[in-house]
Chains A and B, each alone.
Chain A
Amino acid sequence: MIRVPHAAGVALLGILAWQAIVTLAGLPRFILPGPLAVFSTLWTSRNLIAEHALITAIEVLVGLGLGAALGFATAILLAASPLARSLLRPMLVFSQAVPVFALAPILTLWLGYGLWSKVAMALLIIYFPVTSAFFDALMRTPPGWLELARIMNATPARILMRIRVPAAMPGFASGLRLAAVYAPIGAIIGEWVGASQGLGYLMLLANGRAKIDLMFAALIVLAVLTLLLHAAVDAICRRLWEG
């Protein structure tokens, strides 16, 4: 976890450097606006940005929830069944060879301009990291526990649910932490390809109208939302599985 005073210090330094570059190089507003201009736009356009941020947040949260659930289920299926492993695993790896970015136009075509094409993008982008992290952890149960369970006459199903799954939850948690950072990327790509709402849409729109300060304001909000999501997921994971 990033320590707050340090993070704040680094952010302040970054902002100062930003202002220095803009002032010293004399950059025009439509190339790189200074932090003051961006923060004042952030304030004056707060309602507009909040409206779009809410849409993006919903897309990210729904995508994260669905992707995590699907990844959880897939990893358990893979761990439980050697047949599923031999059939599904090559497909999973192959699916990673296809850039998710390239799928965005197709998803927009199939699912439309609304919420679901962005949810699908977020879901696709986090599905593999979650599945992979959880599956690896499921296959790495300490052998001593498994032998103890066998001596106790446990069935494979109970060994899976009562030992392998709980023992692998820290692995699932590290998958979720990655997912919290990746899911917003998926949603934004989805919005760039085709949307009428959301921070990604707002950024494109602002860019097209040379309102670079608004674009930066939206970018900052997106970054802050991602950090908050990561911190929230991290806190939940710690509380549930690493306390």
Chain B
Amino acid sequence: MTAPSLRLSGTARIDGAPIFGPVDLEAPAGRWTCLLGPSGVGKSTILRLLAGLGEEVTFEGEMTAASGAPGENLVALMAQSDLLMPWLDVTANTMLGARLRGEAQPRDRAREVLERVGLAAHAAKRPHALSGGQRQRVALARTLLEDRRVVLLDEPFSALDARSRALMQDLAAELLAGRTVLHVTHDTAEAARLGERVLLMTRDGIALVTPPEAPPPRRYDAPETLAFQGRLLRQLMEAR
């Protein structure tokens, strides 16, 4: 599986109002890139554009979109909301992509993936019977089953409690390794733990901040992780 890289440079507006830009973003192939920035700076808009959504956005510039041939999509998206269908059980939610494309249901692979996210015992439950952390793990299982080379994460862990969030970060880092990941977050601690490459997005554009040597997921209490987190926060505070 060779994962493509993502690149986007240009400006975006919605109904004439500027959303971001000019910015220059690159997410190298097979690496985990964190896009960190305050709310309202246009991070999610970048993600939507790369996902082939965002008809409401007027984008001027260049983008190596993650979509291949027309109708073929190379990306999977995991959002802040788990987007589980309440009328489907965990297994059926995991296989949603196949259901929606009219393909044969990959039951064996679904079982395997649910095993890997630690939900094998909950496979027949409905989403309302799960905790927030478990629901987000189902969303991760669904993302894994799609098996796309590019994975876009839009603050997927931000609604979780601290412990669930740390566990989810470890799990996602392990299971999504080798894919091109672009992870939008406003959490400096998260970027410090997960980013192989960390991009800081402010009104002035996108700046590259070099993370510690240690491979992600970095220990949340390691001095270099905490120091890097402090550095990211300082740069955020100093930006306009």
Partner of A162, one of B77, B79, B83, B99: B99
CB within 8 Å for A144 and B81 given contacts A151-B76, A152-B100: yes
Contact yes or no, B96 A151, CB < 8 A: no
Stretch of A10-18, A53-61, A100-108, A153-161 at the chain-chain interface: A153-161
Bound Cα distance from A145 to B87, whole angstroms: 13
CB–CB A150/B146 < 8 A: no
For the complex, count residues of B whose C-beta is within 8 A of A.
21
Quick one: which of A142, A158, A166, A241 contacts B100, CB cutoff 8 A?
Answer: A158
Q: Is A149 in the interface zone, CB < 8 Å from B?
A: yes
A137-181 interface with B by 8 A CB criterion: 142, 144-145, 147-155, 158-159, 162-163, 166-167, 169
| B53 x A147 contact (CB < 8 A) | yes
Task: Give the total of A residues in contact with B, Cβ under 8 Å.
Answer: 20
Alpha-carbon distance A112/B34, docked complex (angstroms) = 73
Given A144-B79, A148-B77, verify A154-B100 contact (CB < 8 Å).
yes
Q: Could you tell me which residues of chain B, from 62 to 79, have a CB within 8 Å of some CB in chain A? A: 71-73, 75-77, 79
- Which residues of B have CB within 8 Å of A169? 87
Q: Is B102 an interface residue (CB 8 A)?
A: yes
Is B51's CB within 8 Å of the partner chain A?
Answer: yes
- Whether A158 lies near B52 (C-beta < 8 A) is no
In the complex, the answer to whether A152 meets B72 with C-beta atoms within 8 Å is: no
Query: Which residues 86-134 of A have a CB within 8 angstroms of B?
Result: none
A152 and B79 in contact (CB under 8 A), knowing A145-B85, A163-B85, A166-B85? no
Contact partner of A151 (CB less than 8 A), chosen from B52, B81, B87, B99, is B52
Whether B38 sits at the interface, judged by CB under 8 Å, is no
Q: Which residues of A contact B83 (CB under 8 A)?
A: 142, 144-145, 148
Inter-chain contact total with CB atoms closer than 8 Å: 53
Which B residues touch A158, using CB under 8 A?
Answer: 99-102
Expressed in whole angstroms, the Cα–Cα distance for A162 and B75 within the complex equals: 21
Interfacial chain B residues near A152, Cβ < 8 Å: 73, 96-97, 100-101, 146
Compute how far the CA of A166 lies from the CA of B87 in the bound complex, rounded to whole angstroms: 7
Q: Residues of B contacting A154 with CB < 8 Å?
A: 100-101
Q: Beyond A163-B85, A166-B85, A166-B87, is A149–B100 a contact (Cβ under 8 Å)?
A: yes
| B80: nearest chain-A partner, CB-CB | A144
**B81 CB to nearest A CB, Å:** 6
Q: Which residue of A lies closest to B79 (CB)?
A: A144
- Which one of B73, B76, B87 has the greatest number of beta carbons of chain A within 10 Å? B87
| Interface flags, A68-94, vs B, CB<8A=1, else 0 | 000000000000000000000000000
Q: Is the CB of B53 within 8 A of A150?
A: yes
Inter-chain contacts of B146 with A (CB < 8 A): 152
The complex places the Cα of A169 from the Cα of B86 at a distance, in Å, of 12
With a 10 A CB-CB cut-off, give which of A142, A151, A153, A241 has the most chain B CB atoms: A151
Which residues from chain B contact A149 at a C-beta distance below 8 Å?
Answer: 100
Q: A149: nearest residue on chain B (CB-CB)? A: B100
Considering the chains assembled together, what is the distance between the CA atoms of A147 and B80 in angstroms? 13
Q: Which of B115-170 contact A (CB under 8 A)?
A: 146
Contacts of B85 in A (CB 8 A): 145, 163, 166-167
**B interface, CB within 8 angstroms of A:** 51-53, 71-73, 75-77, 79, 81, 83, 85, 87, 96-97, 99-102, 146
Residues of A near any B CB (own CB < 8 A): 142, 144-145, 147-155, 158-159, 162-163, 166-167, 169, 241
Can you list 15 A-B contacts (CB < 8 A)?
A: A144-B83, A145-B83, A147-B51, A148-B77, A148-B83, A148-B96, A149-B100, A151-B51, A151-B75, A153-B73, A153-B100, A153-B101, A162-B99, A166-B87, A167-B85
Known: A152-B100, A152-B146, A162-B100. 10 other contacts (CB 8 A): A144-B79, A145-B85, A147-B53, A147-B77, A148-B83, A150-B53, A151-B76, A154-B100, A159-B100, A169-B87
